[in-house]
Structures are given as C-alpha cells and as structure tokens.
Structure 1
Amino acid sequence: MVTQPRVQLITLVLLLLVVHLGQPVCVDVPSETEAVLGKSMLLTCIFCMKREEVKSKTHVDWYFMPTNERDLPKTHIYKYDKHMLLARDGPFKDRLTWNGSVDFQEVSIQIHNVTFNDSGLYECHVMREFKDFTPPSNFMKNITLKVKEKATNNAAALYSEIMMYVLLVCLTLWLLVEMVYCYRKISKSDEQAEDPAY
C-alpha cells in the first residue's frame, strides 16, 4: 500500500513536470482606439509566431496617416531593423517608445503626450525572414485612433470589472468548500482503513 507522504511527493513531482513543460501562449489582443489629450497611448500590435518561425529575423515598420489628410501618402514614423530601434523625424520625434516583447511577437509602440493631430490611421507592418528557403512571413494591422479631450466613462468596462471580482470571490469560496469536502472524505477513508471493524 502506498503511504500518504509518497502520494503527495508523486503528485508534487507530476505538478512540477506539467508546470515546467507549459509554454507561454500568444494571444492577439485588439488595440485601444481612443486616446486622451496629453496622456500616453499604447498602440497594440501582436503577430504570434508559429513554432517554425522562432528562429527568424524580424523587421517592424509603423506608418501614420492623419484623419483629415487621406490624400497624402502615409508617413513612416517608427522602424525596427537589425536590432536597432529608430524613431523617425517629424511630429512624433521623441514621443514614441518601443513597447514590444523580447521575442517580437508583440511589436507595440507607445505615443507620449498625445495631441489632436495624432488622430488618424496607424499601420503596423511586420516581416519575418528565415535562413532557409521558407518564404518570408508578412503581417499588417490597422489601428484607427481618435483623440478626445476627456476620457469617456465606459459602463460596460465598469460592469465587467465588478463581475470579474464577484466571480473571483465566488470561485475562491467554491474552491475552499471543495477542499474541505475532499479533506473530510480522505480523513473518513483513512479512519475506515485503520478500523478493523469495517
């Protein structure tokens, strides 16, 4: 018969093995589209890699086209190439910072001190090149940004946040009840195993 400490040790080893083998997951999240005047704004761009794309060379370009000037060509505002980040000259000079991940699945940028002139269409272009004969992998994402003077109250976001906390409390209580129930069942089975009358 297997003893209780031995079962706990085996369970712990299996749990550590599962946690160790777990891989981080990439999820494409839509970018926010409303910025507040004078604040910072994160333009989210995520291009998840496939397993075979892990060893690739990544190039990232960000472009901007103002809302009221759709006839003009888009402006190249930010570039990542050969491990160098380059903010272009122009209205975004010294106001853009890189907010991407180390593995370049997230290639987001942040605009600081947002102005009304920052309203418009932003394009995120990502290209991954490979050493072998695999064709390059390309991706483009459009983000239409609107700049407002004040932040708007989003009732749906408030309700969803409240519901999230309510669910966290309820699930924690449910887990506690389940743990007590399981503990009592195990204790009862241990008592029955030790009692020769059963």
Structure 2
Amino acid sequence: MRLGTVVSAAFLFLLITNVHGSFALEVYAPEEITVENGTQALLPCTFKSSEVTRKETSVIWRYIEDGGSSKGSTTVLMFTGGIPYPGEGRFKERVTWAGDLNKKDVSIKIDKINFKDNGTYTCDVLNPPDVNDLPKEIKLRVVEKGLDNPVQDGEYVTIDKQQARGLLNDIENMYEKVEGFKNNMWASISQYQEELKQLKAKVSKVLQM
C-alpha cells in the first residue's frame, strides 16, 4: 500500500471522527530537543486516552522546515493498522518506529541527523473515538558534537565567540557574588569581634571589683 493512500485514508478517518469524537485524547512531547550532528535522534511522544488502543489507532509524524508552514509539511512516518510506513522523502531510509502502543508510546528515531533536519516535528495521534484536536510540536536543534556535552576533567571543548561572551558574563556575575559574600562575611566577623571586646571589657571590670 502506498503511503499517499494510507495518509489520505487517515485524513478521511480524522474528518469523520472529528464530528463524533470526544476529544479526550491528550498528547505529550517536549517543546525542544537538542541533538548532535551525525547521531541518532529520538523524538519522544506519548499520549493518554480513555479508550484502549486498537488496530484503528493511527499516528502521523510530519516535518516543517524552519521558516516554513504546515501547508508545506513533509510526512516523516505514518503508523496505522499496526504497521509503520516511512515517508517518501529524505527521511525514508533514516526513520524507524520506536513506540509501543500498549504503553501509549508513539516515539520515532531518525538516524544520521544533520543540520538540514533543523525544524519542527509534529506528532498527531488518533485513537477512535478519542481524537486529538491539535498535534504536539517538537523543535529540533542540531548542534556540533561536543558543544552541549558536559566537559570531563582533562578534556577540551571548542566554543564560538557568542558562547565565550556568555561564559565570561557568567564568570563576572559569579565573581561579584563571591565578592559580595566576602564583604558581608568580613562585616559580620568585625561586628562579632567588637562584641567580644565589649564583653571582655565588662568581665575585666567585674574581676577588678
């Protein structure tokens, strides 16, 4: 079965169930994820429904490039009838189903992520008679390897000028906070020393009586 036929059937089903659906289905996905260039990306998406999953449960993943609109979206993967159908475009050989309907997990994985994959991915779930009125959007940000990874002892990481300015600003803010803490600490110590002097003087006066 061609993907175009599957998608058309899914849209017809969505139109019908939108009339009678209860809209009790809720979809959950992160607003943004960051993935290193050349690695595999997991796009997580789950849902909650008052209805049990069945053969009619369908999922449509779409991609919208940065600056684009939903009208120009690309189908990344269609899941229906218990079978995943990769899209016909550049994701066809790279996308795999990573979900489990029994756990209401409809996530996907995309291999060999590159900078052209930056954009918005939408997760749309149909579980009749429950229908999700709005798909969830995930903003995918692709970065060079190592930039967003924690640095281990003895390792080096390359940063650009903008990141360096931000780091320098953070260091300066931390320095000011430490200086302020130090000044407050010395003020407290000086006050404590003065109180001790006054107490010592009072005790000495009592001893001289």
Bin for the TM-score computed over the shorter chain: 0.5 to 0.7
Deviates more, 1:66-75 or 1:55-64: 66-75
**1:81 positional shift:** 1.1
Do 2:32 and 2:141's aligned partners in 1 also have CA atoms closer than 8 Å? no
SS of residue matched to 2:136: strand
Correspondent of 2:131 among 119, 130, 137: 137
Q: 1:71 to 1:58 in 2, by over 3 A?
A: closer
Higher relative contact order (CA 8 A, sep 6+): 2
Kindly indicate whether the alpha-carbon contact (under 8 Å) linking 1:32 and 1:44 is maintained by their aligned counterparts in 2: no
Unmatched runs of 5 consecutive residues or more in structure 1: 1-26, 131-135, 156-198
The match for 1:153 is: 149
Cα distance in 2 for partners of 1:104, 1:58 equals 13
Matches of 2:68 and 2:99, distance apart in 1: 29
Partner of residue 74, structure 2: 75
Counterpart AA for 1:148: V
Look at both structures and tell me which one has the larger radius of gyration over its CA atoms.
2
Provide the aligned C-alpha RMSD in A. Answer: 2.5
Write the distance in 1 (CA, Å) between the matches of 2:119 and 2:97.
19
**Aligned partner of 2:98: which letter?**
N
Distance in 1 between the 2:70 and 2:128 partners?
A: 32
User: CA offsets per residue over residues 156-186 of structure 1, 9 Å max, x none?
Assistant: xxxxxxxxxxxxxxxxxxxxxxxxxxxxxxx
* TM-aligned CA distance change 1:140 to 1:104, over 3 Å: farther
Q: 4+ residue stretches of structure 1 with deviation over 2 A?
A: 27-32, 68-72
Structure 1 window deviating more from structure 2 (82-91 vs 64-73): it is 64-73
Q: Partner of 2:88 in structure 1?
A: 89
Residue type at the aligned position of 2:149: N
The amino acid that maps onto 2:44 is T
TM-score of the pair, normalised by structure 2? 0.52
CA displacement, residues 48-87 of structure 1 (integer Å, 9 cap, x when unaligned): 233xx11543110000011144486111111011122100
Deviation at 1:146, TM superposition (A): 0.7
Structure 2: 5+ residue stretches without partners: 1-26, 152-209
CA positional deviation for 1:154: 5.3
Deviation at 1:102, TM superposition (A): 3.8
Counterpart in 2 of 1:33?
Answer: 33
User: Relative to 1, partners in 2 of residues 1:28 and 1:68: Cα closer, same or farther, differing over 3 Å?
Assistant: closer
1:32·1:43 contact (CA, 8 Å) conserved in 2? no
TM-score (norm 1): 0.55
Label 1:55 to 1:127 Cα distance change in 2 as closer, same or farther (>3 A). closer
Aligned length: 122
Equivalences for 1:9-24 in 2 at 5 Å? none
